[in-house]
Chains A and B, each alone.
Chain A
Amino acid sequence: MAIADVKEYCHLTEDEVEQIGRELDALRTEIEESRGAADAAYINRVIRIQRGLAFAGRVTLLFSNKKPAWAAGTAMLGIAKILENIEIGHNVMHGQWDWMNDPEIHSSNWEWDTIQPAEQWKHSHNYIHHQFTNVLGYDNDIGYGILRMAREQKWNPYYFGQPVYNAMLATLFEWGVGLHDLDIERIRKGKKDPKELKRQLKQLARKAGRQATKDYLVYPALSGPNWKTTLTADLTSNIIRNLWAYVIIFCGHFPDGAMHFTEEELEDETRSEWYLRQILGAANFTGSPLMHIMAGNLSFQIEHHLYPDLPSNRYAQISERVQELCRKYDIPYTTGPLHKQYGQALRTIMKLSLPNSWTKDKNPTQPQRRDTANRYEQEHKRRSDAERPPRRTELGGWSRGGKQRMHD
């Protein structure tokens, strides 16, 4: 069952909630003031390593007819794409590195190595997902309009196929993300502004075209007689990245402890309550420092949701303080090893492919308010931006057109 009031759910008084907000604000200020040369060196080093891997991978794959070269090249390219997408692109586009004033590492003009244009990502992710995290009917990331990830989402026979859709989404994740901001559901219902749709489609087609040409035409062509093996290597590295990104993202909000919310929660939500919703709605996973980097530090999903625009290399440090705070106020803090977290997400996917009456809800939260208990089901619809509250500034940039940098 979804939460209608975080304060009530956590058994906290209004004063306690405000105190938590102040402590989290103070932690933000502390981190902001301590950003410096070491942080700048970190992101520059990651970028250097990532570009080095991409270059080495591409060169190795010119000789992809040799099996070891194919394997090594594919692995290097796959890892480069993962790093580029989640530790660099995702975080840069949140504005985590904007404080450096470096126009080459800036949310306003970063473009990433995936199908979706940066501008559309910054809208669907920074704004829609981060501001309305796990609020039913507002956050389109609950199942991405493809899967049923909350019991409140109405079941219909389409969802019997959920395990298959899930496997397809994982494999083609880049394309799923690419179509995400178009909001297919609103297009289907004829609610999307046709002019905006046309603009977005054009932008998407251009980006997707350049991406596909590079991976599936230009590099295979450069490999000459080895074009076939280079093609399979490029395809494989993209799939490796897709699967890994899918797992990381699904571990962020779908393990058992991550809660959903009803729109009542958004009514008069204070900044402190917003913080609480971020803690309750996200889930971390544990791992080595290398694992955290490969996960784009999204293994600190809770910290990322509290401070989307603070540098990712600081999340580990922030995490200790947030856990301390959660212990102090007895707020649930969801974490566990990757396999366990993903296992739980997968179980939910399987379970929710069936009607609610066939399965048991293992996570009853609290009794719902009678008047609104079924409102989501009745009024299930997607909002347009005009129907949503305006954007919070700490979520990272959301700028449109003009400033996007496409190199051509």
Chain B
Amino acid sequence: MAQGTAEKEQKDQRTPWERVRALGSQLTTPLHPDDYLSLVNPLWSSRELRGRVEKVVKETEDAATLVIRPGWGWRYKHHPGQYVGIGVQVDGKFQWRSYSISSPPKRNGRHIAITVRAMPEGLLSSHLVNGLTPGTIVRLALPEGDFVMPDPPPEKVLFLVAGSGITPIMAMLRTLDRRGTMPDVVMHYSSPTAERMIFRDELDQLAGKHDGLTLHKLHTDSEGMLDLADLDQLCPDWREREVWACGPGPMLDAIDEHWKEAGLEEQLHLERFSLQLGSNGGEGGTITFRNSGKTIDVDGATTVLEAGEQAGVGMPYGCRMGICHTCTLTLVSGAVKDLRNGDEFNQPNEQVQTCVTAALGDCTLDI
């Protein structure tokens, strides 16, 4: 998927085996050798990253950890806290979602783990938790996201976690544990009940092992939700801590506001799944959604997909990172720019991926 400088970088890093395959494309053009090899073993392809589900571990009633063996082209260099895109075929159709990696990065690793909670209305999350059998081949997207724990870590850390928001934090904790660099960490973890608290045993073990790790558990069904005003008692030095917060949207909004009021937003890291795009955006402009008759003025950093959602258009989307093409729409007129590589699309009736493009002046889309 990467292009331009990223592509060049990739070329320089190619292993001898990858060079052989590049040469082999002389034999298989217009296909790639991987298009044939993946028919022998589905993991033998780096055209689209793939993985084989090796194990499905039940964590709680409604959550499971998927242990995945990635195929060719995967680099085990993710930062603790990053997420991956995972595409699963349901009724013939690939559905994409992003999930945080819960396993720590290992240079010589062979597996990654993601932990998924089945959402009541979530077609895919339920399928991942209950319907996925070991051996299933899934598609993967390389790790993304800047919700990461730096190495070395800051001296004082506060984790504010609710529900399945534990997964990126778990990757951070496991990394700190494995590297032996656990600093002074306070963790506040809310879950409806004790049974639904993912990783509760492992967290207890970690807290027992590391003096620096203080764990507050809150069972919101019986004890109510966390009131941020209580932080002063729970963690009196919260103002001195670097904070990572992950959980439902309203919780993150409240935390965002609380830290802004304290003038400490510099210390706050929030996890909202979004793609990190290049800084050189489009120009912005007025986007018209022809069939729904809606228009919206946007800046050059807002993707067409986000613009449509803000305007209240029922935009199709999948991975939200330019992989799955679910969001592709017809650009009737005007121009858009691919935020990943700066490619411009300006032909009438061109197909554009709305999740990675932004307006270059006024444009009209067929939806």
Contacts and interface: CB of A to CB of B under 8 A. Distances in A.
A316 to B, nearest CB: 19
Contact of A218 (B27, B31, B47, B92): B27
B347 interface: yes
Interface stretch (A32-40, A152-160, A177-185, A351-359): A32-40
Interface in A372-408: 385, 390-391, 393, 397-402, 406-408
Contacts of B330: 393
B25 interface: yes
Given A390-B349, A408-B25, A37 B92 contact: yes
Given A51-B35, A51-B36, A101 B26 contact: no
Interface stretch (B67-75, B193-201, B321-329): B321-329
Contact of A101 (B47, B94, B332, B349): B94
Contacts of B99: none
B31 A407 contact: yes
B350 interface: yes
A385 B349 CA distance: 11
Contacts of A58: 27
A397 B91 contact: no
A206 to B, nearest CB: 11
B99 to A, nearest CB: 17
Contact of A103 (B25, B26, B323, B349): B323
Interface stretch (A136-144, A164-172, A207-215, A340-348): A207-215
A134 B124 CA distance: 45
Nearest to B318: A101
A101 B25 contact: no
B95 A399 contact: no
Given A51-B35, A407-B31, A100 B351 contact: no
Nearest to B47: A104
A5 interface: no
Most buried by A among B47, B93, B338: B93
Nearest to B24: A407
Contact of A402 (B87, B92, B345): B345
Interface in A201-226: 207, 210-211, 213-214, 218-219, 222
Interface string A43-59: 00000100110010010
B351 A398 contact: yes
A37 B91 contact: yes
Nearest to B34: A407
Contacts of A148: none
A262 interface: no
Contacts of A391: 348-349
Most buried by B among A36, A106, A113, A408: A408
Contacts of A174: none
B328 A108 contact: yes
A99 interface: yes
A173 interface: no
Nearest to B323: A103
Interface in B333-367: 338, 343, 345, 347-351, 366
Contacts of B22: 408
A236 to B, nearest CB: 19
A185 B25 CA distance: 35
A324 interface: no
Given A99-B93, A100-B93, A108-B328, A407 B323 contact: no
B338 A55 contact: no
Given A51-B35, A101-B326, A40 B25 contact: no
Given A36-B91, A101-B95, A397-B351, A407 B39 contact: no
A280 to B, nearest CB: 26
A103 B348 CA distance: 23
A98 interface: yes
B13 interface: no
Nearest to B23: A408
Contacts of B347: 399-400
A111 interface: yes
A188 to B, nearest CB: 25
A390 B348 contact: yes
Given A393-B330, A402-B343, A101 B96 contact: yes
B48 interface: yes
Given A103-B323, A104-B47, A398-B350, A211 B345 contact: no
18 contacts: A36-B93, A37-B92, A40-B92, A51-B35, A51-B39, A52-B39, A98-B325, A101-B87, A101-B318, A101-B325, A207-B30, A210-B26, A211-B29, A214-B29, A390-B332, A393-B349, A399-B351, A400-B347
Given A98-B328, A399-B347, 15 more contacts: A36-B91, A40-B93, A41-B92, A99-B93, A100-B89, A108-B351, A210-B29, A210-B30, A385-B348, A397-B351, A399-B345, A402-B343, A407-B28, A407-B31, A408-B29
Interface of B: 22, 25-32, 35-36, 39, 47-48, 87, 89, 91-96, 318, 323-326, 328, 330, 332, 338, 343, 345, 347-351, 366
